[in-house]
Amino acid sequence: MTPSLSRPKSRTFPLAAKDGERLLRVLAESQLIRRHVELLLWLQGEIQQFLPHQILISAWGDFPKRNLKVDVISGLPGVRTGQLAHCGIDSFLKELFARWVDAGRKPLVVPAAHAFKEFGSCSCAAHNSLRGLRSVLVHGVRDERGCYDSLYIALHSRSLTRGQPRDRANYLVDLLVTQIDAAFRRVAASRFAETTAEKLGGDWLDVSPREHEVLDAMCKGKTNAEIGRALNISPFTVKNHVRRILKKLGCGNRAHAAAKYSQAPQEARKAPQEAREAPQEAREAHAEIAQQANASPPGWLA
């Protein structure tokens, strides 16, 4: 006798027509993501109506052995993959992973005080921004074929679930994290996912794009006044930049800093140019995503 096949029962939750259309757009646009900047724009778009977050941390690998890779998506200043990879958040990730597993691998809201107890005392911009957030939502995806987990941590300064019924909130989080995981898998990991400052030949992750510009001018032997005129800032501001640069790089004078910068790996030195080009690339990608989504909607949207 052939056993009958039946689909497992699942709860459904009604959505207003406007929210339903918005959710379908979110799902459709996720299929178009191929670049990191497209992922950023998608996560900062309409998905925020269902899963609001100011920072999204993606971590994958062997959590028990802390052999992890990390990618961070955020519009907050200073909250970047490179900075967190430089400072290290493995204990934080392992703690949240353990809590998620104990909760049956279901969406989990963790009180900020508990989430950040393994955070350490780092005072960088990324860690300070994380400590200022009060809502932490944890969910993940288990890859049974590869035998590893991908964990996603959404953080916000206000409630992430907006007072929704728990079952409804969990349903939406589970649906969206599945799409987020698929989108992340289509994008190459950040080059800083497991990079340390030592591998880059110095503390270049702490040097801002403006400070890179000042360093570049210092290498050319320009004075503070000349640098100020070229960058349209005052000599006093240039002096402050130089002071911070020397402190960050552990150099005693301008010549030492210029020499260290000249010897730095090319990959590290091109970072400020990438930062300046990112906004334009993002605007172009946003237009491309919107155009493709409107021109070629999936069958159920037609």
Q: Which domains does the chain have, with CATH numbers?
A: 18-195 (3.30.450.80), 204-264 (1.10.10.10)
For residue 118, which of 73, 87, 147, 156 has the smallest C-alpha distance? Answer: 87
Q: What distance in Å separates the CA atoms of residue 245 and residue 272, rounded to the nearest whole number?
A: 14
CA-CA-CA-CA torsion sign (269, 270, 273, 274): negative
CA 243, CA 253: separation in Å to the nearest integer?
A: 9
Pairing of strands 67-74, 55-62: antiparallel
Its pTM stands at 0.64
DSSP-derived secondary structure for 106-164: S-EEEEHHHHGGGS-S--SHHHHHHHT--EEEEEEEEETTTTEEEEEEEEESS-SSTT-
- Render pLDDT for 250-291 as a digit per residue (tens, 0 to 9): 788 888 888 777 666 454 455 445 444 444 555 555 455 445
Q: Rounded distance, CA 97 to CA 91, Å?
A: 10
**Are 242 and 224 in contact, with CB atoms under 8 Å apart?**
yes
Q: Per residue in 189-202, pLDDT tens?
A: 766 555 333 333 44
Residues 6+ apart with CB under 8 A from 258: 215, 218, 219
- Strands (E) across the chain are located at 55-62, 67-74, 108-111, 135-143, 148-156
Lookup: tokens for 227:
């640098």
At position 281, the amino acid (one-letter code) is E
The distance of Cα 110 from the centroid of its chain, to the nearest Å, equals 19
CB proximity list for 126: less than 8 A, separation 6 or greater: 72, 78, 79, 80, 83, 84, 87
Does residue 162 contact residue 7 with C-beta atoms inside 8 Å?
A: no
Contact by Cβ (8 Å): 271, 210: no
Question: Is the distance from CB of 133 to CB of 55 less than 8 angstroms?
Answer: yes
* Residues in contact with 37: Cβ distance below 8 Å, sequence separation at least 6, in sequence order: 278, 281, 282, 285
pLDDT tens by residue, the chain, 302 residues? 555 555 556 667 778 899 999 999 999 999 999 988 899 999 999 999 999 999 999 999 888 877 888 999 988 887 888 777 667 788 889 999 999 999 999 999 998 888 887 676 677 777 888 888 888 999 999 988 888 899 999 999 887 766 678 888 889 999 999 999 999 999 987 665 553 333 334 445 467 778 878 888 888 889 999 999 988 889 999 999 999 888 888 788 888 888 777 666 454 455 445 444 444 555 555 455 445 444 444 333 32
Q: 135 is written with which tokens?
A: 């809502």
190 backbone φψ class: left, alpha, beta (φ>0; ψ -120 to 50):
beta
Is the CB of residue 253 less than 8 Å from the CB of residue 189? no
